[in-house]
Structures are given as C-alpha cells and as structure tokens.
Amino acid sequence: MSSLNNTNTTLHLYNLNFTLSRQFLSLVIVFLTVFQNFSCNKKVKEKHFVIGFSQCTTHDVWRKYMQKEMERELAFHPEIKLIVKDAGLSSDKQIQQIKELMDEKVDILIATPAEAKPITPIIEEAYSKSFPVILVDRNILSKNYSAYIGASNYKVGLDAGAYANSLLKGYGNVLEIGGIDVGSSADIGRHNGFKDCLKQYPGIKYVARLSEDWDASPAEAEKDLTNQLIKNDDIHLIFTQNDRIGFGCYKVCKKLGIDKKIFIIGVDGLPGQEGGIDLVDRGILKATILYPTGGKEAIRTAVNILENQPYQKENQLYTSIIDSSNVRMMKLQSQKILSQQNDIERQQNILNEQIIIYNNQRTFNNILTIALLLVLLLGTAVFFSWRKNKRITKKLQTQNEEISRQSSQLIEMSAKTEEAHQARLNFFTNISHEFRTPLTLIFAPLGELIANTRIQQDTRQALQLIQRNVMRLYRLVNQLMDFRKIEFKKMKPHVSETDLVSFTKEIVDSFKVLAKNKNIDLQFITSERSLFVWVDTTMMDKVIFNVLSNAFKFTNDHGLIHVTISKTNDNALIRIEDDGIGMTKEVIDHAFEPFFQGEYENYKGTGLGLALSKELIELHHGSIIVKSQRRKGSTFEISLLPGNAHFEKSEFETNSNKETVINEDADIYTTDLYNINNIPAQSFGAVLPKYLTLLIIEDNQEMRDYLNSRLGTDYNIIEAADGNIALQNAFDSVPDLILCDIVIPGKNGLELTKIFKSDVRTSHIPVVLLTAKDQENQKIEGME
C-alpha cells in the first residue's frame, strides 16, 4: 500500500509539475509578448538620427552663437544627435572631416565651407552619394546640395557701401578689413558687394584691403593696421567684415588718437556685451549689418528632410543695418531675446530633468506593470493549478479508497480461500484418518489369507492385487497426514547418526523384486564404505522410498535405475537416476509443489509425494533437486549437511521420542512395504460398529446386491435404482460416500454428481463414479 501511495504521490507531483510547467509556459509567452510591445515602443522612441556638422571654425563668438541656436532647436528633437567637427578654417582639414562624417554614415550633413572652391568637390561627392547636404552661412561654387541657408553677403557689401557713402556724404577714403578666409563665399560676396557699391560714388576712394587673423592673432593684425593707418593718414571710414574686426580697428584708432574722425562699419550685429549691437550703442561702431547665423533654420530644414517633409532649397535670411537710429530698440529687443533664450534654456534644462524623471518613472512603471501582470498571471496559474490539483487529489483519493477496498476484499477473499483450502485439507485429513483403521483391518486378514496355503493360485493372485491396492491407499492416506503435520509445523525430525550407505542400500534392495519383474537394471553404486549423516530415519526412508517409487513409476521395462551415494564438499549426496520418460521444463518447475500432477496420463499420483519429500529434506536443512529431460530420464539429487550442528537440541532422537516415532509412523506405506508381514493385526476379526453410510446408485440389481454384500458389513447402505430416487436419498440421508454408476435411468451419474457438488448439503460428499466404459472423455467429465 505504501508503494501504491508513493506512486500516487509521484503521479500527483508529476501532474502538478506538468500543470505548472504548462501554465508557466503560457505565462512566459504572455510576458514575452508584453515585453516585446514595450521594447517596440522603446525602439520607436529610441530611433535617432545623426546630423554631422562640419564647421569651418568654432572659435569665434558668432559661430558659438550659431551652434547655440542649433542646440536650442535640437532640444525639441531628442531623437536627433549632433556631431560637430571643427576644421580650424583649413579646407584640407574640412575635406577630411566631411569624409569621416560620410564614413560614419550620418543621416544628414550640414556644412559651412571654410573656402568655397576647395570644398565644392567633397560637397558634390556627398550629395551624389545621397547624403542630404545643407550649407549654412557659406556657399560652394555649385548647386549640388540639398539646401542653402544664409543671408546674401553681396547685399551685406552693398549695404555697407551705401551706408559708407551716406556717412561720408559722397567724399572720403575707405579701407576694407577682412579675415584670413578670403576664399570663403562670405568674404567674396561682401568684398564684391562693397566694391561694386562704391563704384557709384566717385568721391569715395577705396584705399586698400587688409586680411588678418583677428581671432587667432589679434596683436599682429593690430600692428598691420597701425602701419596702414600711419601710411594712409587720411582714412575716413573702415569697413570691417565682422564686428570683432571692427572692435579691433577701433582699439587701434583709439591708440592712434584718430578714433573720433574714423567711422567703422561692422557686420554680424550680435547681441550681448561687446556684440555688434552693444558696440554700435557705445559709439565704437558707426553701424553694423545684422547678419543672422541661420543655426535654427539649418536644424529645422534638417528635421524636415529627415522626416520627409517639404523644404526649400534656397533659404535667404534677411539682413538689416543697425546704427544709432535703431540701436536702442535693437538692444532692448536683443536683451529681451537673450533673456527669453535664457528662460528657454532654463526651461529646457527643467524639461530635460523632467524627461529624465519621466523616463525613470516610465521604466519603473513598465517594470511595475510587468511585475503586476506577472503576479496576476502567476496568481491565476497558481489558482488554476491548485484547483486542478485539488481535483486530481480528490480523484486519487477515490482511487486509493477503491484500491484499499479492493485490496481488503482480496485479503478477505484470500483468507476465505485459505479457509476453504484448510477446510478441504482438514476434510481429506480427517477422512484419511478414518480410512487408516479400515485399511489396516483389510490389510491384516488379507496377509493371513494370502499366507494360507490352501487357497487356489488365482484366488491368491486376486488377493495380492487387493493387497497392493490397499497398500497404495494406505500410502496415500499417510502422505496426506504427514503433509498436514508439516503444514502445521507439527512434524519435527528426530535425528540420529546413521550410515547412509547401509541405510540406502536396504531401501534399494527392497525394490529388487519389482526391478526383476520389470526387467529394470537397478543398481546401488558407491565408493564409500560407510557415510555417517544425522537423519530422521523414518523421514529419510519415506523420501528415498518416494523418489525410488517415482523412478519405477516413470521407467519403462528394461530401463535402468541407479542409486549413487557420494561425498561432495563434505555434503552427503544421494543420486537417484533413471532413464524413464523424463519431465518437461514446466513439470520440473512445479515438481515439488503439493498436488501438482504432470501431464502423464498413465501415471497419475497424489501429487504429494515429492512435495512431502522436499519438506522432509528441508527439515534436515538439506536440499533436493531434479534434473530431467523429456524422454531421456530424470535424476534426483538429495544433499545432506555433514555433522549435526544444524539441528536443534529437541530434534535429536531420544528413547522417548523414538517410541513416539514408532507408534506414530510405523505404517505400512514405508518400511512395512517391503515387509508386508509386519502389518499390525490387532483388530482382525473384530466386529466394528457401522459409522459410515454409503449411497449406492446403480440400476443393475445384481451389481447393487454385489456391492451391498461386499460393503454392507462395514457400512450402512442406502440404495437407489435411478437418478431421482438417488437425489431424494442423498438429501435425506446425507451419506458419507456416494457410489454412482454413470449410466442410469432418470438423471445420469454425471448430472447427479453436478447436483451433489453444487448443493451445500451434499457438496462435501465424495462421489465415486462407476462405469464399465473406460473412456477418457468420460473420465474428464467425471473429474470436472
């Protein structure tokens, strides 16, 4: 039962595991789907573009302002990343950097070419390779770009010229000062515009142009300008290409003490301290031409291109002149713009912080949602598996109960079967016991009758036949009784030291007559003079006798039976070998089981002999085995231990138990078989009371009379001439035995037997079927 419970538990756990793993799998799928959704959302958010920005230089304040504008605009596009490369006003370096940006596969290229001509091919190359290219502030010499953003430098020059003319009222000498990037489109445009404008005013003389690096080496630039101003002491106006140069010029003029008489016009008009507006306001510059950076517009155009939105190729930004007439307003406006820009930056910082917080919270929320979802799903799974397990447990419980019920039923049934078996055995034992006395009483006078010399030969032969059969019956009865004793562990050996050689030889000798009659080669073989073993002689006698009888039973005339005594590993070995009909494997396997009958039609026995022999040998702690082959013969080997250490004290023969042995077991089926004159004759001639009743069912009057005459002396006889009377008598008198002819009127013998055996009143009564027909099928039917 416990193993059954274990199995159930395993089954239960297996089911639980299976349920959980199945539900867990579903959970994982759901989780993965949810996770994938989250990941997808994230992907959309995380998708970013890269803008590669090739700046001719990043060092001056105007360029810084441009970049600031770009970043401010990019703050609205967190998905866009900006990479800035500073060419340091070197075209070669800028070409290299643009190549690098292309290699990095930026999504869009923004460039402010240091010089127009050298940079044109690389911009065209990028454009031809499908990179969207935006030019800001400065242009190239071709139109192979996506968009241009910037004010007209030529117009800046024109405006500067016109303003100079108005300041000088048509007469004066002017100087132009630019940076070192003379090849840039800005420089070229401004220079051309200025010069073209002055052509209209013959009173204004364009004295010279200086190109200095005011951003990197202002001292040198100042020196050059000083020299120039000393050389040309009648200069009335200086046009500087940006406000920073203008401020530098002012400082030089101031040093020379000519600051009051020279007008300076700058370009850029940046807000902030020392920006162009501030310089005009302070009177340092006479005017500045507002030149927007285009940083914000460049980013907006880039976003449009990236998002496949419409955009314009040429985007001209507006310029305007700032002088004393509008500078206050411009300053105010620029201050306001600056403060607004500061506010925007602050807000953007706050926004960025908020975005970080929001992102963190979103991540946390996502995790929390997933966790909650998981908890919910797990909870559901646990609930369902709990419910399912509960159902399984209940089912298993019911099954367990059913199994327990069946097993107790089985126990009950087997107890009943055992009880029935015992009852049957008891019945046979009791009846065997009852048979012993009458058999003895038959046997004794029979012996005397046979010994009588006056009887005729054929009568003697008939009597001898009777005697042999009586002996057979007697043996059977004794075997049954012995077996019963063993079953109840009542039988104990009473061992004494015995010479196995002489003991066995004596038994073998007693079969000599039989062997002679059957022409069997019976031999007793041993190389031992004597071999002493501790045995219960009565038991050993029964065993050897039984095995030998078997050998004779299954050995045909002219066969051989050899009995060998030997010593192996100190054990004593009795080998009984025959060349008889042998046994099949199946018969060998069951040979020692009680009531087992081999399938030998002509050799039916009790099925007890070998079983009993085995039990008796085991009482001696010995062994009996059989080796056999069908049609080749059988060999039984009995092995006995040396010495007597294996016996209990109570198992040694004493005078008292010796007597008991004799009284109990000195019966005709063993030792007395070979000396039939030893049959007890104590009750010969005595008239016994009739204890038992026999029902004779026989339609033949003569046969009935004969049976009555032979059995009537010892038993009460009831007769029945047909089946119906027989039934009546059987139920009325419940006889101890029924002798029944098979062929009778009314119900026949087989039908009657069936009724007797199925009726509780008569089922215990042994029925002996009589028939003249010795047909196999009738025998089988009768047995059934």
Q: Which residues bind ligand FRU (CB under 6 A)?
A: 57, 60, 62-63, 137-138, 179, 184, 186, 242, 267-268, 291
Do 116 and 94 touch, CB atoms closer than 8 A?
A: no
Quote the least distance from Cβ 164 to ligand FRU, whole Å: 18
Nearer to ligand FRU, 148 or 503 (CB): 148
Kindly report the backbone phi and psi dihedral angles of residue 142, in degrees, each rounded to the nearest multiple of 5, phi listed first. Answer: -140, 175
Nearer to ligand FRU, 93 or 362 (CB): 93
Nearer to ligand FRU, 88 or 445 (CB): 88
Pairing label, strands 571-578, 560-568:
antiparallel
Quote the least distance from Cβ 154 to ligand FRU, whole Å: 13
Nearer to ligand FRU, 133 or 551 (CB): 133
Nearer to ligand FRU, 240 or 628 (CB): 240
Nearer to ligand FRU, 271 or 559 (CB): 271
Nearer to ligand FRU, 55 or 538 (CB): 55
Quote the least distance from Cβ 37 to ligand FRU, whole Å: 49
Nearer to ligand FRU, 244 or 704 (CB): 244
User: Bridge-partner residues for 135, per DSSP?
Assistant: 111, 148
Residue among 409, 118, 155 at smallest CA distance from 289: 155
Provide the greatest CA pair distance for the chain: 197
Nearer to ligand FRU, 317 or 676 (CB): 317
Quote the least distance from Cβ 66 to ligand FRU, whole Å: 8
Nearer to ligand FRU, 184 or 546 (CB): 184
User: Bridge-partner residues for 174, per DSSP?
Assistant: 206, 237
Nearer to ligand FRU, 285 or 515 (CB): 285
Cα–Cα distance for residue pair 380/26, rounded to 1 Å: 11
Quote the least distance from Cβ 302 to ligand FRU, whole Å: 19
Cα–Cα distance for residue pair 753/697, rounded to 1 Å: 11
Q: How far is CA 529 from CA 35, 224, 566, in A?
A: 97, 151, 10
Burial of 318 (0-12, 13-18, 19+ CB in 10 A): exposed
Angle between helices 723-733 and 749-758 (to 10 degrees): 30
Nearer to ligand FRU, 268 or 667 (CB): 268
Cα–Cα distance for residue pair 344/357, rounded to 1 Å: 19
DSSP state of 677: G
Quote the least distance from Cβ 372 to ligand FRU, whole Å: 57
Quote the least distance from Cβ 293 to ligand FRU, whole Å: 8
Cα–Cα distance for residue pair 659/447, rounded to 1 Å: 25
E strand or H helix at 322: strand 320-323
Quote the least distance from Cβ 178 to ligand FRU, whole Å: 9
DSSP state of 152: -
Cα–Cα distance for residue pair 233/312, rounded to 1 Å: 48
Quote the least distance from Cβ 364 to ligand FRU, whole Å: 47
Quote the least distance from Cβ 43 to ligand FRU, whole Å: 40
Do 628 and 582 touch, CB atoms closer than 8 A?
A: yes
Do 645 and 528 touch, CB atoms closer than 8 A?
A: no
Quote the least distance from Cβ 195 to ligand FRU, whole Å: 17
Kindly report the backbone phi and psi dihedral angles of residue 716, in degrees, each rounded to the nearest multiple of 5, phi listed first. Answer: -75, 130
Residue 646 structure tokens: 């294996």
Nearer to ligand FRU, 152 or 393 (CB): 152
Nearer to ligand FRU, 319 or 432 (CB): 319
Angle at 570 between CA 564 and CA 574, to 5 degrees: 20
Nearer to ligand FRU, 64 or 757 (CB): 64
> In this structure, which long-range contacts are made by residues 515-520, counting pairs with CB atoms below 8 Å and at least 24 apart in sequence?
515/552, 515/561, 518/552, 518/555, 518/557, 518/558, 518/559, 519/557, 519/558, 520/552, 520/555, 520/557, 520/558, 520/559, 520/560, 520/561
Angle between helices 609-619 and 457-487 (to 10 degrees): 50
Residue type, 638: I
Quote the least distance from Cβ 159 to ligand FRU, whole Å: 13
Nearer to ligand FRU, 213 or 234 (CB): 213
Nearer to ligand FRU, 115 or 579 (CB): 115
First to last CA, the chain: 38
Quote the least distance from Cβ 297 to ligand FRU, whole Å: 15
Cα–Cα distance for residue pair 172/193, rounded to 1 Å: 18
Quote the least distance from Cβ 89 to ligand FRU, whole Å: 8
Do 547 and 613 touch, CB atoms closer than 8 A?
A: yes
Nearer to ligand FRU, 69 or 482 (CB): 69
Quote the least distance from Cβ 185 to ligand FRU, whole Å: 8
Kindly report the backbone phi and psi dihedral angles of residue 187, in degrees, each rounded to the nearest multiple of 5, phi listed first. Answer: -60, -50
Residue 671 structure tokens: 């030792």
734: left (phi over 0), alpha (psi -120 to 50) or beta: left
Quote the least distance from Cβ 291 to ligand FRU, whole Å: 5
Quote the least distance from Cβ 63 to ligand FRU, whole Å: 5
Quote the least distance from Cβ 370 to ligand FRU, whole Å: 53
Angle at 258 between CA 178 and CA 282, to 5 degrees: 75
Do 624 and 636 touch, CB atoms closer than 8 A?
A: yes
Half-sphere exposure of 216 (CA within 13 A, CB side): 10
Quickly list DSSP for 109-125.
EEE--SSHHHHHHHHHH
Cα–Cα distance for residue pair 709/133, rounded to 1 Å: 143
